Structure 1
Amino acid sequence: MLKSKYRWDLPKLDAAEVAELSAGLKVDRLVAGVLAGRGWKLSRETSDFLHPGEDQLLDPYGMKGMSAATERISRAIRAGERIRVYGDYDADGVTSTALMIRLLTELGAIFDTYIPHRSREGYGLNIPAIDLASQAGVKLIVTVDNGISAVEQIAYAASIGIDVVVTDHHEPPEKLPDAVALVNPKQKDCPYPFKGLCGAGVVFKLAHAMLGRPVLEYADLAAIGTIADLMPLVGENRIIARLGLEQMRRLPIPGIRALSKVASVKHEEMSSGRVGFSLAPRLNAGGRLEHADTAVRLLAAADIEEAERLAEQLDRLNVERQELVEITTAEADELWQDQLSSQGAGRGRNVIVLAKAGWNAGIAGLVASKLVERYYRPAIVLATDAATGLCKGSARSIDGFDLHAALTDCADLLDHFGGHQAAAGMTLSVNLVESLAERLHEIAGQRISEEDWQPKRRVDLMIAMREATIGAVDQLASMEPFGNGNPTPRVVMRDVVIRESRTMGKEGAHLRVTVEQDGRSIDAVAFGMGNHRERLEPGIRIDVLGELSVNEWNGNRKVQLMLQDYRSEHLFVHDRRGERDLWSALDSDLRETTVAGSVVCCASPSVYAEAVGMYGHRGAIVCLYQDLNKKDAQTARSDLEAEPGDLTQMAATSERGVQAMEGIRHLILAGLPQDAEHVRSLRRRIAGNIDLERITVFSAGQGSRLASERASRVEAFPDRKQFGEVYALCRKKGSWLESPDGFQLETAQKTGWPLATIRMMHEVFIELGFILADGASRKIVAEPPRRELDVSPRYRRAREVAEGQNLAVMTSEQLERWLRDGHAGMPL
């Protein structure tokens, strides 16, 4: 069995509904299945989703405050008043600011921009910045991507003669600021039907209102802000993102062209994924490490040479940011491991809470995300400041744990916090970090269910490999752009066979697996999973989960799967009994990289002694069949054929073996058991062992006689049909007296089975209630109970004895079936 990394949330689809969508929308079943699983019905709305366009953009004046905002900005332009655009330091904030630069430039306004410094000023409007605006003669501040919570600051601005127009998309507080205009679709009484716009999206709608038309040439920056801020790519966001991506592919501005170049992205191939993973991190890098002005100037640049210079500067900052994240993550990981050690046995606290001086608060969220990915538990990373006694940082959560709600229950420990279910930021006293960690540990223990501790992957569709055609995958592109709220479709293909697996990339970091089903094959590529090569050997049957894509190379196009996870309920059995040299063969199967989770079980003390001597120093677990299921630490057996000095090593090896038995992934059998006791021991060990992935069988000296024994030895135990034949003879006889040369001997002569076997079969029939025994008298029961053979203890004992005698001479197919049946817990 191969356990999956994730919980697979498999869909339950109505086949008739899928067929209706496929026919009505004229799309492949793959597309129809994904749509159905996501709740789409056959409607105009679904058709609009598949074909988003300019005509679907909403009237910007439906947004509360839009008329007041456009009137005040227009009045400032007419009067020649100085306007200051007050932005934010993340990618949404800088794209919002750059969009306002375009708009105000086109309108002929007198204006400048201001973005606060992340570490010195923090998020949003602040009074010193308002004072600077006053000193510069600013009469109107237009906020972008902030301002909805700035009650005190906006009141202060009004008191010194500065009006404020707020454009924002964050959740409004109960008390709103007294600004001349508040433009935010999330206001409680705002009738605007789409609430999911980002800050740049709100500015895009402001431009639409002020210029009297959808400003499609502004969609590029609005799309970047939407994707980078992880807004749901549905509704108007989907339209903005698609229009913006088309604009970037067709006619990129100098800033985007330059940024694409340093990110090694062809602007003609721009996608939501490339925006999110290549462009956005570079736009964010300035605000994290220095100042976000660099990103704003890049996006506003009219000259390609200036844009390239600024893009290279952001690229260097991004590399520095990556290195800093890597260093800080390593330090945080070490700190967490120290905590685990000090907390003793167990999984440690339910929430990772780490604080250290010298860390950069600007990358705390990125480090927290790395820890969540590595340990799958909520994480908080805090940078401490010895001068103030405070620490500031960010948190990331897991599915099933509302981080904002948990922090609300810890509000008495925090100076400030904000965020949502999945992410948050906070400031608190260094002295209260331990208290926060302890309280969050208790809250998480109460609110996170057992299954929530395993990450989940939502699957859109289960498909057969034959359905993954070029045409179907091309049609899936009609659902782009993909992102938050409209994720790239995930599919599962069940019971595929690995034909080939190999690592690729630097130091074999990645994996390429060729899988096949019903005569068809497909390549599955798994980035960062090169270390899974040992688990995914040719011949193994698995279920795969991933995203379908088209690989284009030298003009050829073929479907491939971007592999994210896999699992298998099959036990992989590798019969290597034909190997002549046990130890050379075992060496190849027990490499240094595969020692962990492997156990070598030996059929004899002499093989055990030699295996300990060869592999004990590597940390390999070596045991005898009788020790497979023992719970207490074993000592060396006195009958082992070894020198006294070796016995100490054997005892230690056996002790390690008992401690590690529960985590066996690879069971190596150096010889098969040949008596009933050892057969039972093996069967108990493999039955229902969810960690066990494969069993490799060697002959340990048995191989030389296998061929002749297989050829000459008759089947030693009757099957169900043969039991039935003997029972039919009993029913025909009706009744008889048991004697040494009586009916049993007659039956043996008729069937060819040994007398002892016939005697055993009769005893089984008596236990099952098929034959009534009274002294030497035997009589068939007229209406016997319906019972399976394995209900009889006598049958099970006899079967074990027979298999103990025959296991070593089974064919590969018989042995594989026996081991797999045992793993599945099937009765003997």
Structure 2
Amino acid sequence: MKLSKYRWSLPVKNDPLEAELAERLGVSRLVSGVLVARQWHSAEEAETFLNASEQQLHDPFLLKGMSVAVSRITQAIEAGEHIRVYGDYDVDGVTSTALMTRLLTTLGARFDTYIPHRHKEGYGMNEAAIDLAADAGVSLIVTVDNGISAVRQIAYAAERGIQVVVTDHHEPPASGELPDAVAIVNPKQEDCPYPFKGLCGAGVVFKLAHAMLGRPVLEYADLAAIGTIADLMPLIGENRVIARLGLAQLRRDPVPGIRALAKASGTKPEELTSGRIGFGLAPRLNAGGRLAHASGAVQLLIAADEAEAMSLATELDELNLERQALVETTVAEADAMWKTLNADGRNRNVIVLAGEGWNAGIAGLVASKLVERYYRPAIILAIDPDTGKCKGSARSIDGFNLFEALSECAELMDHFGGHTAAAGLTISWENVESLSERLHALAGEWLTEEDWQPKKRADLVCTLAQATLDAVDQLARLEPFGNGNPTPRVVIQGLTVRESRTLGKENTHLKLSVEQDGKALEAIAFGMGADQAKLVPGMRIDVLGELSVNEWNGSRKVQLIFQDWRTNELRLVDRRKDKDVWRSLSELTAEPVAGTAILCGSARHYQEAVDKVGHTEAEVRSYADGRPVTERWTRLILLGIPDNEKDVEHLSDWLSPVRCGEHVVVLDQSHIGSGNVGAKESFPDRSQFGAVYGLFKRQGTWLDAPEGFLQSVAHETGWPLATVRMMQDVFIELGFITAQGSTRQVVAQPPRSELDRSARYRRALQSAETSRLRHMSADELRSWMHRWHLA
């Protein structure tokens, strides 16, 4: 049995509804199955989802504060006031700033932009920046992607004669206190009637442009889509509309900066998808703010000159390469620090690490890597040795709300903000340990044992027959994919492995050829090359992954990109022909496999095994030690196969499914002095039972005596007399033969019954198997073990 790496969450099947949606919408059962799994149960609502368009955009004036914001910005433009756009350094922040730049340029405003330096100033408004604005004659600041928590800073701006319009999308302060701004436009305000709360910062600016220009400004949807996708906003509702409109704009008529950025990331604008934005464009737009300053990213997005755009894109690409190397180094250092803390016994539920020399700009990326590696919430902090302040980022797992957790520890931090899954914070070094302890306790209270295993949700269980090229092509109707509308994930059960091999220079990846009911499919798993040895031809497995279309040399075919697999089958490695058993055992234990157990056939061999490999992490046990089996194991090494029923019973307990074993290695103890073994014995199969019953039926009545009819049956069939007598007893127990004294008589119309309903048959079979267990072929032994493994 190979347990899955993830918890598989499977949807409740609703065949009638899937069939109805498929017919009414004209889509494949794959598409309708995904729609049903994602709670689109109405054909009308599902059609609206599939055909998202600008008609579904909401009235921007439903946003609380929008009317006042439009009025104040219009007043400033008409009066020629100096406006400053105050942005942020992440992708949402720079796209918001660039989008606002387009809008104010179109409106003829007198303005400039300001983005704080991530390392020198940190997130959001600060008083020094407000002083700079006042000295420059700014009378109105319009924030984008920040400002909802800037109570003190906006009050200070008022003292300096500057009014502020806040446009933001972050959670308002837990205290409920909002800044005293001229206007606050944020759908997350408690009393805001706007019907969709999931806009990103660029999305809010997109709505502001709609309000100020009197129409949905579709040519601005490109930047709004990039901000929405990069900031991991849910791609449902209005965000889905913005993303679809923006992707269409990006593919059809990209601005110079996007063309240059796409080229730097190795793609073409017409091939841009949400995935290529998230993994190609967004990291490069983020690189400036992480390692230098985000102004370069804004300049790129508003550049009108192709040559200037290409130069700026190249700079961001180089910064991104530098960022990748820095992340790799920091992850290694953080991982080593975490392992050292664990070695000291401080195995916390939440990873909280702080280091001098670390770059706060990549803290979130490092935290994400550690969450992926250890599956627990992680906070990475960069220590400023001069001030003793630590700045960094946090990432979480399902079930642990970071914003709520940090809110519980608010008094320990100078500043924090964020969402359920991600956050940023500033904290003094002396409070880091207290924060670690508090979060450890909260995770212990809030998370269940199940929560500590990562979960992958499947949208539907399907067969290979359903995964046709046309059906998989239709899944594109569900795009764009991202947070809230992930790429559809399927589970396919009962696949037979035909071939497995590794791919890549270091055999990092895995490629399978699988089949089901005569239909074949290629399946690829990235980073799972180590599993190749476990997937032997003929094994039946279930897989979880994403269906896609592979195009090569003009040919198109369906393939599966799978992320996890599982099987109920037990893999057997038969090494009974190894001559030097102790050498084989040493070699096996020299290759560390977590959860290795060694089961020895005698007390002497147990002691010798302890002496030779007891220093390893393997658990060494003996058939005869009498202790109950409580261990879960991954690999079981058998130093000899049992030859008596008591030891067989003990082995069967080890093989039971609750032990979760994956594979068994069998070594032959006869090579280490266990003595000769008896001759191979056999046991009659069902057809042979039937042949003997035919002889009984032909005889009709007989006496059960040492000589006579039973002896003649033994002579005619070649079975020992004891075996023939056992068959007679089985038929008596099943009601095929009656017994009165020594007389036996075949029943004229016997009941229908299977042999294994007879206790006598089961005892005899087990005894026969025990006597020949050590002589079974590899296939027979695998079959015998597998029976116990599925019990």
User: Is the contact between residue 601 and residue 641 of structure 2 (CA under 8 Å) also seen in structure 1?
Assistant: no
Once the two structures are TM-superposed, the CA of residue 822 in structure 1 deviates from its matched residue by 2.2
Per-residue deviation at 1:339? Answer: 1.3
TM-fit CA distance, 1:215: 1.3
- How far 1:75 moved relative to its partner? 1.6
Q: Which residue of 2 aligns with 1:260?
A: 262
Q: Contact conserved, 1:355 with 1:391, CA < 8 A, in 2?
A: yes
Pair 1:569 & 2:542 matched: no
Q: Does 1:416 align with 2:391?
A: no
1:563-601 deviations in Å (ceiling 9; x for gaps): 111111122456788xxxx44xxxxxxxxxxxxxxxxxx
Q: 2:661 aligns with which of 657, 677, 692?
A: 692
Displacement of 1:692:
2.8
State the partner residue of 2:66.
66
Q: Distance in 1 between matches of 2:617 and 2:597?
A: 6
Residue 245, structure 1, aligned to residue 231, structure 2: no
SS class of match (1:802): helix
Work out whether residues 87 and 146 of structure 2, in 8 Å CA contact, stay in contact via their aligned partners in 1: yes
Q: Distance in 2 between matches of 1:392 and 1:777?
A: 93
**1 CA distance for matches of 2:614 and 2:169?**
67
> Aligned to 1:171, what secondary structure does the other structure show?
coil
Listed one character per residue, the Cα deviations across residues 113-171 of structure 1 (whole Å, up to 9, x for unaligned) are: 00111122222122221111111111111111111222222222223322211111122
* CA distance in structure 2 between the aligned counterparts of 1:183 and 1:815, rounded to whole angstroms: 71
Which residue matches 1:227?
A: 229
Say whether 1:800 aligns with 2:737: no
Is the partner of 2:379 in helix, strand or coil?
A: strand
Query: In the alignment, what sits opposite 1:641?
Result: none
Report what 1:146 is aligned to: 146
Distance 1:89 1:522, change over 3 A: same
Deviation, structure 1 residue 365: 1.7
For the structure 1 residues 71 and 407, does the alpha-carbon distance in structure 2 shift closer, same or farther, using more than 3 Å as the test? closer
Q: Please give the per-residue CA displacement for 1:543-569, whole angstroms capped at 9, x wherever unaligned.
A: 111111111122211111111111111
Instruction: Report SS of the residue matched to 1:495.
Output: strand
* CA distance in structure 2 between the aligned counterparts of 1:387 and 1:633, rounded to whole angstroms: 63
Does residue 367 (structure 1) correspond to residue 366 (structure 2)? The answer is: yes
Report the residue type matching 1:35 in the other structure. L
Tell me how far apart the structure 2 counterparts of residues 259 and 31 of structure 1 sit (CA, whole Å).
Answer: 33
Structure 1 residue 135 and structure 2 residue 135: aligned?
Answer: yes
Change (3 A) 1:612 1:89: closer
CA 1:78–1:56 in 2, change beyond 3 Å: closer, same or farther?
Answer: same
Distance change >3 Å, CA 108–CA 61, structure 1 → 2: same
In structure 2, the partner of 1:462 is: 461
For 2:601, give the aligned amino acid.
Answer: Q
**Partner SS, residue 120 of structure 1:** coil
Aligned partners of 1:608 and 1:623 also within 8 Å: no
1:473 is aligned to 2:472: yes
The AA in structure 1 aligned to 2:543 is V
Aligned to 1:594: none
Q: State the secondary structure of the residue aligned to 2:481.
A: coil
- Find the aligned partners of 1:438 and 1:793 in 2 and give their Cα distance: 59
Moved more, 309-318 or 810-819: 810-819
| Correspondent of 1:716 among 679, 683, 688 | 683
Map of 2:625 onto structure 1: none
Give TM-score, length-normalised by structure 2. Answer: 0.88
Which amino acid in the other structure matches residue 683 of structure 1?
A: S
Deviation at 1:468, TM superposition (A): 1.2
Judged with a 3 Å threshold, the aligned counterparts in structure 2 of structure 1 residues 651 and 514 are, in CA distance, closer, same or farther, namely: closer
Distance 2:720 2:535 in 1: 46
TM-score, with structure 1 as normaliser: 0.84
Alpha-carbon deviations, 1:5-29, whole Å to 9, x = none? Answer: 1111001121111111111111111
Q: Give distance in 2, aligned partners of 1:130 and 1:24.
A: 58
Instruction: Decide whether aligned partners of structure 1 residues 756 and 418 sit closer, same or farther in structure 2, where only a CA change above 3 A counts.
Output: same
Residue identity opposite 2:102 in structure 1: R
* Matching residue of 1:122: 122
Residue identity matched to 1:686: L
| Contact 1:609/1:650 (<8 A) preserved | no
Query: Do the aligned partners of 2:597 and 2:637 also contact (CA within 8 Å) in 1?
Result: no
- Three-state SS of the structure 2 residue aligned to 1:506 is coil
SS of the residue aligned with 2:181? coil
* Cα distance, 1:523–1:63 mapped onto 2, change above 3 Å: same
- 2:522 maps to which residue? 523
Instruction: Tell me, in whole angstroms, the C-alpha distance in 1 between the residues paired with 2:601 and 2:178.
Output: 75
Contact residue 679 and residue 800 of structure 1 kept, 8 A: no
Conserved 8 A contact 1:717-1:802? no
Greater CA deviation, 231-240 or 758-767? 758-767
Letter in 2 for 1:405: E
Q: How far apart, CA to CA, are the structure 2 residues paired with 1:135 and 1:624?
A: 80
Conserved in 1, the CA contact under 8 Å of 2:600 and 2:639? Answer: no
CA deviation digits over 1:309-357, x for unaligned, max 9? Answer: 111111121112111111111111111111111118xxx2222221222
State how 1:640-679 maps to structure 2 within 5 Å: 649=612, 657-658=620-621, 664-666=633-635, 676=645, 679=648
SS in structure 2 of the partner of residue 192 of structure 1: coil
Q: How far apart, CA to CA, are the structure 2 residues paired with 1:740 and 1:727?
A: 21
Are the equivalent residues in 2 in contact too, given 1:608–1:624 (CA < 8 A)? no
**Preserved CA contact (<8 Å) 2:599 2:637:** no
* Alpha-carbon spacing, 1:815–1:379, altered in 2? closer, same or farther (3 Å): same
Superposition deviation, residue 88 in structure 1: 0.8
For residues 383 and 654 of structure 1, the distance between their equivalents in structure 2, rounded to whole angstroms, comes to 37
Per-residue Cα deviation, 1:412-431 (whole angstroms, up to 9, x for no partner): 43333333322222333322
SS at match of 1:371: helix
Percent identity between the two aligned chains: 59
The 3 A distance-change label for structure 1 pair 633 and 269 is farther
For the structure 1 residues 651 and 764, does the alpha-carbon distance in structure 2 shift closer, same or farther, using more than 3 Å as the test?
A: farther
User: Could you say if the C-alpha distance between residues 55 and 650 of structure 1 is closer, same or farther in structure 2, counting changes exceeding 3 Å?
Assistant: closer
Deviation at 1:824, TM superposition (A): 1.3
1:820 equivalent to 2:786? Answer yes
Pick closer, same or farther for the CA change 1:748–1:396 going to 2, 3 Å. same
Look up the SS of the partner of 1:508 in the other structure: coil
- Summarize the Cα distance change of 1:785–1:126 in structure 2 as closer, same or farther, 3 Å threshold: farther
Aligned residue pair count: 773
CA gap 1:622/1:359 in 2 versus in 1, 3 angstroms: closer
| 1:626 correspondence with 2:598 | no
Residue 155 of structure 2 aligns to which amino acid in structure 1?
Answer: A
Deviations along 1:280-307, one digit per CA (max 9) or x if unpaired, are 1111111112211111111111111111
Range with greater deviation from structure 2 (182-191 or 266-275): 182-191
Note the C-alpha offset of 1:399: 1.0
> Could you tell me which residue of structure 2 aligns to residue 588 of structure 1?
none
Q: What secondary structure is seen at the aligned counterpart in 1 of 2:425?
A: strand
Moved more, 785-794 or 71-80: 785-794
Amino acid at match of 2:458: V
* Shift of residue 624, structure 1, vs aligned partner: 6.7
Distance 2:278 2:42 in 1: 31
Deviations 1:364-419 (A, max 9, x none): 22111111110111112222233333323222211122223333333343333333
CA distance 1:648–1:193, shift in 2 (3 Å)? closer
Equivalent runs, 1:271-670 vs 2, <5 Å: 271-343=273-345, 348-573=347-572, 582-583=577-578, 608-609=581-582, 611-612=584-585, 625-626=600-601, 634-636=606-608, 649=612, 657-658=620-621, 664-666=633-635
The letter of the residue matching 1:93 is: G
Q: Call closer, same or farther: CA 1:406–1:785 in 2, change over 3 Å.
A: farther
* Contact persistence 2:598–2:638 (CA under 8 A): no
Question: Does structure 1 residue 170 correspond to structure 2 residue 170?
Answer: yes
Give the unaligned 5+ runs of structure 1. Answer: 584-605, 638-646, 703-708
Structure 2: tracts of 5 or more residues without a match: 623-628, 672-676
Residues 521, 159 of structure 1: alpha-carbon distance in 2 compared, 3 angstrom cutoff? same
CA positional deviation for 1:724:
12
Corresponding residue of 1:598: none
- Asked if 2 retains the 8 angstrom alpha-carbon contact of 1:625 and 1:673, the reply is no
Deviation of 1:442 (Å) = 2.5
In the TM superposition, 1:718-757 aligns within 5 A as 722=689, 740-741=706-707, 753-757=719-723
Question: Which of 159-168 and 428-437 deviates more?
Answer: 428-437
In the alignment, what sits opposite 2:214?
212
